[in-house]
A = this chain, B = another copy of it.
Amino acid sequence: MPELFNVLPPDEAREVLRSHVTPRLQRETVPTEESLGRVLAVEVTSREALPSFPRSTMDGYAVRARDTFGASEGLPALLTVIGEAPMGRAPAMRLGQGQAALCYTGGMTPEGADAVVMVEQTQEAGPGAIEVVRPVAPGENVVQPGEDIRAGEVVLPRGHRLRAQDIGGLMGLGVTQLEVTRRPRVAILSTGDEIVPPSTTPGPGRVRDVNSYTASAQVERAGGVALRCGIAPDDEEALLALAREALGAADALVISAGSSVSTRDMTAQVINRLGSPGVLVHGVSLRPGKPTVLAVCDGKPVIGLPGNPVSAMVVFELFVTPLIGWLAGETYPQEPRTVTARLTRNVASAPGREDWVPVRLVRENGEFCAEPLFGKSNLIFTLVRADGLVKVPLDKGGLYAGEMVEVRVW
C-alpha cells in the first residue's frame, strides 16, 4: 500500500492546473433573455446612443435655464406654460423665451428647452402661468442623448458572466441575441466495486452512489452541464475504457476515486494513460482532500476526487468549480458566497496544511454562529448537516472558539 505524495499547497496546485487549461471558446448564439449565467464570447458594443433624445429625469416643467437665473422665493421667475410634452412622442411645441412646458419623468423635452424645473420648485400663477422659485442650470434634470451609452461604446467585455442587470441593459439597447460560450460539459464517473446506483437496494458491503449526484449538482451550479457516466469497477482496464469514452464526450472529466489507497493509485495510473501530459499534481496539502489528482490529458482537464463524500465535495469546490469558469472563458470568477460567523469551538490544524472544516450555521442573537462538525470523516450526512466550510490557512495551527470567521456557504 504505497502512499507517497509530493504534495503541493492548494493555491499552487490550482495554478498548475490553470496554466495547463486552454479555454475552449466554441460559441453559440442565444436569445439575450435566456442568457442569465452565460459567458460572453465577444465584447458587446452599442450600435446606438442611449437615450436617443433629451430625456427628463423629473416630473416638472421644461424650461430655458437662463429664464430662471436669479429666481428665488422672494423674486420668482414668471413663465408661460405653452402645453404638455406627451410621453412616448416628440413634443410638437418649440419653447421660446419666457416659456415652459409640462413634462414627465422619462419624457422627451421640447425643442428650445435645456433644463427641467422640478414641480416642487414651481407654483401656479393663474391659468397658463407658473412661478419658478429656484434657478436651474443648463442640462439640469435632463439626460442628454448618448449620456447613458454612446454609439460604438463597449458595453460589456468578452469573458463577462451575464447577470440580471446586463440582460435588462442589453435589451434596452436592442441587443436581443448574444454570442456566448457553450456551457462546459463535465463528465462524471464514480469508481468502486462497493458502489451501486441509487435506484437499487445495496447488498451486504455495498453503498449507493453519492458523489456522482453531488458533483452533478455542483457542475450545474457552476454553469456547466453534467454528463453522468456511471460507475466503474475497481479494474484498471474497465475504468480506462469508461474514462476514455466519458472524456471523449466532454470538455473535462471528474473521477470520484475508489476510497482505498490501491484504487486511488489505480485512478492516477488510468489518468496517465488517457493522454499527455497526464497527472500534473498528485496530492495536495489539504484536509480533507489530500489524495486529489489534477491532470490534463490531450488538452482536456481530468480531476480525481477522493472517494469520501465530504472530501469529494470540498475538492470539487476548490478545483472543479473554478475550472468550469476557465473552460467557459470567464475573466473574473464569481466570489464564493460567504457569511461571517462566530466560531463556537476550537479547531486544531497542522501548519503547512490547509484545512476546510464543515460547519453548521446557527443564528443566535442576530449573529451567525459556526459550529464545527467533527466526527468520522466519511459520514455522508456530515455533508447535509454542513451549511458551509471554514478555512484554516496553511500557516495557521488552528482557530480559536469565539473568533469571527468567514464561512464559505455551500
Contact residues of A with B, CB < 8 Å?
Answer: 1, 32-33, 36, 50-53, 55, 57, 59, 86-91, 104-108, 119, 143, 147-149, 155-156, 163-169, 171-174, 176, 192-195, 198-199, 201-218, 220-221, 234, 258-263, 307-309, 313, 335, 337-339, 376-381, 383-384, 386, 409-410
Inter-chain pairs besides A52-B204, A335-B339, 7 sampled, C-beta below 8 Å = A50-B381, A51-B207, A53-B204, A106-B194, A164-B221, A167-B217, A168-B309
B90 touches A164 (CB 8 A): no
In the bound assembly, the distance between CA atoms of A163 and B216 in angstroms comes to: 11
Q: A383 contacts which of B55, B168, B313, B378 (Cβ < 8 Å)?
A: B168
Q: How far is the CB of A409 from chain B (nearest CB, A)?
A: 7
19 contacts across the A-B interface (CB closer than 8 A): A36-B220, A55-B207, A87-B260, A89-B204, A104-B262, A105-B260, A105-B378, A143-B379, A148-B381, A156-B384, A164-B218, A164-B313, A165-B313, A165-B383, A166-B384, A169-B309, A169-B381, A173-B208, A338-B339
The distance from the CB of A28 to the nearest CB of chain B, in whole angstroms, is 19
Q: Chain B residues near A198 (CB, 8 Å)?
A: 32, 171-172, 174, 176
Contact A380 B59 (CB under 8 A): no
Chain B residues near A107 (CB-CB < 8 A) = 194, 205, 260
A267 CB to nearest chain B CB (Å) = 14
Is the pair B259, A168 in contact by a Cβ cutoff of 8 Å?
no
Q: Which of B210, B338, B386 interacts with A171 by CB under 8 Å?
A: B210
Interface centre among A90, A205, A214 (most CB of B within 10 A): A205
Bound together, the chains give a CA A119 to CA B210 distance in angstroms of 26
A129 → chain B closest CB, angstroms: 17
Q: Are B410 and A205 in contact (CB under 8 A)?
A: no
Given contacts A105-B259, A210-B172, A260-B105, contact A205 B376 (CB under 8 A): no
Q: Determine whether the beta carbon of B192 is less than 8 Å from that of A87.
A: yes
A85 CB, min distance to chain B CBs, angstroms: 8
- Cβ contacts under 8 Å, A36 to chain B: 217, 220-221
Please determine whether A106 and B207 come into contact, CB atoms closer than 8 angstroms: yes
Compute how far the CA of A147 lies from the CA of B380 in the bound complex, rounded to whole angstroms: 10
Distance from A241 Cβ to chain B, minimum over Cβ atoms (Å): 19
Chain B residues contacting A163 (CB-CB under 8 Å) are 217, 410
- Cα A207 to Cα B89 with chains together (Å): 10
A154 → B minimal CB distance (Å): 11
Residues in B with CB closer than 8 Å to A379 are 143, 147-148
Which residues of chain B are near A216, meaning CB under 8 Å?
A: 33, 167
A302 shortest CB reach to chain B, Å:
21
Q: Please, which residues of chain B bring their CB within 8 A of the CB of A215? A: 164, 168
Complex Cα distance A184/B296, Å? 43
Is the pair B148, A380 in contact by a Cβ cutoff of 8 Å?
A: yes
Q: A172-B198, A335-B337 are in contact. Are A213 and B167 (CB under 8 A)?
A: yes
For A212, list chain B residues within 8 Å (CB): 171
- A166 CB contacts on chain B under 8 angstroms: 384
- What residue of chain B has the Cβ atom nearest to residue A234's Cβ? B87
